[in-house]
Amino acid sequence: MADCMDPISRNKHIIKIILSIITCVVVILYSYNSFSYSKNICFKCHKKSQFAGKVIHPPVAKGECVVCHNPHCSKYKGLLRYKEAELCYSCHKKEKQIFANGIEHEPVRKGQCLTCHNPHSSNFSYLINGKLSNRCFKCHKKLIRHFAYIHPPFRNGNCIACHDPHHANNSLLLKATADDICFSCHKKIKMLKVHKGFPCNNIGDCLSCHSPHGSNNKYMMRKYLHKPYKENCSICHKKGKVTAEDCLRCHKDISKKLLSIHNHLLGAHGNGCIICHSPHAGDSKFLLRAPQVLLCRKCHEDTYERNQDSLYVHPNISNCAECHQVHGSSRLAMLKEDGNKVCTRCHETQGKFTHPIGAQARDPRTGQEMTCVTCHHPMGTNYKYELKLSGKEDLCIQCHRNY
């Protein structure tokens, strides 16, 4: 081919090759210089011993500080090149994709990798900031840790035996369904032997009786027992499946609440009660399967996320039942009462002296009664006082258009 070229084209071709080689050499030298720069210069001030540990982040080990830090200036803390998670995911691309599915652990969702990991070095695997359990309990302070009988993984601080610290497809970030996790250690055949007389000779729903962390009762039985469970299983387990109707036969006050526009009869093949309540035992008086906010979050993940992502949120929002009627309500969003009464139980002053509200004050846009929730969204907004729009002007002119 080259023989066919005229001398001018051949020279041009050679010049192109030489230029490409020079460019490559310059790039390599520049990269080498910048890494060696960080190797040699950074550690002059930042003592190398600060980055020592059993596990060292590979860029640190190679002295490639500039992979993450800009040595001159940055708009991010620690002279980081990008925002925390953005920087991590620039290398850990696979993880970013995996975490995007299912329920994310709060720090993962907020992109706060450094809540659990040390980006330089650690004496613990996966660059965890200290011992795993200590790290978990730093946030999960309310978890009771001292019991007479403790589940060994919990005692050993091996939280990740059951929970996934990043994301999961099951609530409570469980790695699999609760039963699957239990039976991965406690073999089903053995368990059948010690659970004689279990309906249909099939055991399951372990957490409806046992506490997964620990208990002061033998066999880690939960604190409160359902009366029929304590007395005689056959009170509920007669023939066939136990339905919600069976539950409501005793809990008559609840059946009245279900005759509301919205209720939490959730299908569940005939027994929606056991989605939230354990039919056997529980750690709370109402035999809830989990603390209330976690229980509600199981289905209302979107509401929880909106609340977490909002700048302004109503305080003490973890007790959903404070404002919502959890079994059934004929008011919007299953509130206990209408949008005024439910708020003025606490906000007494605003109930007496405020923008006109109530049956006489109508929203000109819809003709609906003006209530507190016409302007406020207690689950959280990005405006002060949980207003739906900016209180300076934007919100008011929605109705007062002539101003």
Partner 1 sequence: MAKKTYVFSVIEIIEVGIMKNIKWKCVIVCICYIILRTISCYAQNTPWHWILTLRGDASRKSMDMPYSLYVDKATSRYYVVDTYNNRLLSFSKKGKFLHAFSANQKLKLPMAMIHDSNSILWIVERGKNALVKINLKTKAINVFHLKFHSMELFPDRMHEYNGIIYLLDKMTGNIYAFSKELKLLHCFKAPNSSLGFIDFKVMRGALWALAMEDQSIYRFNLNGDLIKVIHLSKKMEFPYSLAIGPTGMIYVADRHKNCIFVFDGSGEYRYSFLNLGQDRGKIYYPSEIDFDPWGRLCIVEEGNGRVEIFGR
Using DSSP, state whether 389 is helix, strand or coil. Answer: coil
Q: Contact, 357 vs 340, CB < 8 A? A: yes
Question: Which one of 106-114, 144-152, 226-234, 326-334 is the stretch in contact with partner 1 (CB under 8 A)?
Answer: 326-334
Tally of residues, the chain: 403
Binds partner 1 by CB under 8 A, chosen from 70, 292, 303, 354: 303
310 binds partner 1 (CB under 8 A): no
Q: Which of 79, 235, 333, 396 binds partner 1 (CB under 8 A)?
A: 333
The owner of tokens 């919007």 is: 332
List of E strands, 252-370: 262-263, 281-282, 328-329, 358-362, 369-370
Does residue 363 belong to the site contacting partner 1 (CB under 8 A)?
A: yes
**What x-and-dash track marks residues 240-279 binding partner 1 by CB under 8 A?**
---xxx------------xxxx-x-xxxxxx-x--x----
From CA 353, how far away is CA 62, in angstroms rounded? 66
Give the chain's end-to-end CA distance (angstroms, integer).
80
- Answer yes or no whether residue 170 interacts with partner 1 by CB under 8 A: no
Q: Which tokens sit at 325?
A: 């009627």
The count of residues interacting with partner 1 (CB under 8 A) is 31
Query: Are 224 and 279 spatial neighbours (Cβ–Cβ below 8 Å)?
Result: no
Task: Judge contact between 74 and 86, C-beta under 8 A.
Answer: no
Task: Report the nearest approach of partner 1 to the CB of residue 209 (Å).
Answer: 20
Query: Near partner 1 by CB under 8 A, which window of 91-99, 129-137, 158-166, 357-365?
Result: 357-365
Residue 332 touches partner 1, criterion: CB under 8 A: yes
- Residue 49 CB, shortest distance to partner 1, in Å, is 47
Among 11, 31, 177, 368, binds partner 1 (CB under 8 A): 368
Q: Please say which residue, 227 or 256, places its beta carbon nearer to partner 1.
A: 256
CB 131 within 8 A of CB 123: no
- Smallest distance from the beta carbon of 332 to partner 1, in angstroms? 6
What does the angle CA 14 – CA 20 – CA 22 come to, to the nearest 5 degrees? Answer: 105
Catalog residues that contact partner 1 under the rule CB under 8 A. 243-245, 258-261, 263, 265-270, 272, 275, 300, 302-303, 330-333, 362-363, 365-368, 374, 398
